[in-house]
Amino acid sequence: MKISDLAVGMRSVNVKGKIVEISEPREVFSRFTNRLNRVATAVIEDESGRINLSLWNEQIEKVKVNDTVQISNGYVTEFRGIKHLNIGRYGTLEILE
């Protein structure tokens, strides 16, 4: 699937792209887990476009700028008017060679 084809509300999304940017991590409190988590926003792109990718906790250290990644079973949401690709509990993030 191409990044330009992603729409808010889509589930079971499989996308490959290159990480072109990663924000500084910030801490957020989760009422669900009742603990502090770290989150960063990466920007991934393919030949069709770009989308923000939410990275949580250990995912942040797993990737770096210029890595090509495969997101499997992700989902698309909107936060503050911007589309975000999320990996979630059931999705995976794989770094490709």
Domain ranges of the chain: 3-96
39 to 2, 46, 60, 97: CA distances (angstroms): 25, 23, 7, 25
CATH code that applies to domain 3-96: 2.40.50.140
| The model's pTM | 0.91
What is the reported pLDDT for 14? 97
33, with CB counted inside 10 A (0-12, 13-18, 19+), is exposed
What is the reported pLDDT for 31? 85
Give CA–CA dist 94/86, Å, rounded: 14
Each of the 97 residues of the chain gets a pLDDT tens digit; together they read 999 999 999 999 999 999 999 999 999 998 877 899 999 999 999 999 999 999 999 999 999 999 999 999 999 999 899 999 999 889 999 999 7
Structure tokens at 54: 């939410």
